[in-house]
């Protein structure tokens, strides 16, 4: 009886190990994206944003924003005559409306510059920008274009009038990534509607370059709310986010920041690449931004790192990271709805689908000759997995 039970458990473990190893080779295609969005569509309708709000102050806005961004981005991955385009655009607009609700704004303080602080202002504008770009400015109403311009003008005015290039999200608190998201939205306006904010973006870039971290030459995780001077060093999660979004406003700055991310934060455990929360040689604890830091890696840094890699043309690393997410994220698909880790943390599902929908060239364009992903990086995992299976087989004979 005991031997039969052991064999059954060994069989289940063997199946899990096999699935894990196979998924390391699968980064996910547009069908996977659509199944993720189908799950999130239902989850958002059933309070996923409110659930995440209970975990951290920006949970509602973050979850809706990432869902809206992915819904808009997937439109460009579908054929022009695909009927699903209309539905995904409608979902992107649903996110725009959710972000403009009193519920979304209730966490933030209105009497700031811009209103409700730069985190809310930037992310809500960014989703609206991606919606307009996905739909095509010629296909949206004048009211939507007017709203887009008005909101973009308000952010641009706040950026112009502020001494620091990094605006406050809350009183006396500034994180450069928040302003970078808004800068990206202004860049999308210039691309999708008409040139309007080129000078503001250019001036912002010049100011930001003067306030880089002295040690790495990167945009810092936090900044002095008055002067914009770096505070607390550089973090992998926020640097990955800035490297991703700045592609839409200043691709050169984005590539520079991404190169720093790749050379100072990409690391390996048992041959498996990931993105560290802290640079090589620096140890730190997890917090509300990073989540748990395990063996130096943080979940958001890995997932957003994949998005940054895709957007900057580092296809090898992007595919590797997404393969790791697919294997370690324990995805389950039921009735065409795909969720990760049982759907316990919807914002994580939203991050993953947003990373998968980040724009990417058809082939590798980023290469600096250093820390290239080893061609056989999966071999140690496959070897350990095979060894475990052989041991269980031997014990169960």
**173 and 260 part of one domain:** yes
Dihedral angle at the C-alpha atoms of 379, 382, 385, 387, nearest 10 degrees?
Answer: -70
Q: Long-range CB contacts (< 8 A, 24+ apart) of 381-390?
A: 381/21, 381/24, 381/270, 381/271, 381/272, 382/21, 384/270, 385/17, 385/18, 385/20, 385/21, 388/13, 388/17, 389/14, 389/17
- Cα gap 275→55, rounded to integer Å: 23
How many domains are contained in the chain?
2
**12 and 52 part of one domain:** no
**19 and 34 part of one domain:** no
| The model's pTM | 0.91
C-alpha dihedral sign at 282, 284, 289, 293 = positive
Q: What pLDDT score does 17 carry?
A: 65
Residue with tokens 């999130």: 40
Q: What does the mean pLDDT of the chain come to?
A: 89
Residue with tokens 């409608």: 90
pLDDT tens digits, 319-352: 889 888 887 778 888 889 999 888 889 999 999 9
Q: Are strands 230-231 and 222-223 parallel, antiparallel or unpaired?
A: antiparallel
**228 and 324 part of one domain:** yes
pLDDT tens digits, 262-321: 999 999 887 778 999 999 989 888 888 888 898 899 999 999 999 999 999 998 899 889
**291 and 314 part of one domain:** yes
**387 and 364 part of one domain:** no
**43 and 19 part of one domain:** no
**388 and 341 part of one domain:** no
């Amino acid at each position: 009886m005991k031997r039969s039970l052991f064999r059954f458990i060994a069989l289940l473990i063997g199946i899990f190990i096999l699935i894990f190893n196979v998924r390391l080779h699968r980064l996910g295609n547009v069908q996977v994206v659509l199944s993720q969005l189908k799950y999130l569509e239902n989850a958002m309708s059933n309070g996923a944003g409110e659930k995440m709000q209970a975990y951290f102050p920006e949970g509602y806005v973050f979850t809706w924003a990432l869902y809206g961004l992915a819904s808009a981005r997937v439109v460009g991955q579908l054929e022009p005559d695909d009927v699903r385009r209309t539905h995904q655009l409608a979902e992107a607009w649903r996110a725009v409306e959710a972000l403009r609700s009193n519920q979304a704004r209730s966490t933030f303080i209105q009497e700031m510059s811009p209103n409700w602080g730069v985190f809310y202002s930037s992310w809500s504008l960014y989703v609206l920008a991606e919606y307009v770009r996905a739909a095509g400015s010629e296909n949206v109403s004048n009211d939507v274009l007017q709203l887009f311009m008005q909101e973009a003008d308000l952010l641009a005015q706040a950026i112009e009038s502020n001494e620091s290039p990094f605006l406050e999200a809350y009183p006396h608190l500034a994180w450069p990534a928040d302003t970078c998201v808004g800068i990206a939205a202004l860049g999308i306006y210039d691309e999708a509607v008409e040139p309007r904010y080129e000078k503001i973006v250019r001036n912002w870039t010049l100011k930001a370059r003067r306030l880089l971290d002295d040690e790495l030459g990167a945009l810092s995780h936090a900044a002095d709310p008055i002067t914009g001077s770096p505070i607390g060093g550089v973090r992998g999660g926020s640097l990955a986010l800035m490297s991703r979004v700045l592609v839409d406003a200043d691709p050169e700055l984005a590539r520079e920041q991404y190169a720093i991310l790749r050379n100072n934060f990409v690391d390996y455990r048992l041959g498996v690449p990931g993105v560290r929360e802290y640079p090589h040689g620096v140890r730190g604890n997890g917090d509300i931004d990073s989540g748990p830091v395990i063996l130096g890696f943080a979940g958001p840094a890995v997932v957003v790192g994949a998005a940054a890699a895709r957007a900057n043309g580092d296809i090898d690393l992007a595919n590797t990271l997404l393969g790791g997410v697919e294997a370690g994220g324990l995805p389950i698909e039921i009735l065409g709805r795909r969720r990760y880790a049982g759907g316990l943390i919807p914002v994580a599902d939203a991050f993953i689908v947003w990373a998968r929908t980040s724009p990417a060239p058809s082939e590798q364009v980023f290469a600096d000759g250093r820390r290239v992903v080893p061609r056989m990086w999966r071999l140690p995992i496959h070897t350990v997995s095979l060894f475990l299976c052989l041991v269980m087989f031997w014990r169960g004979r």
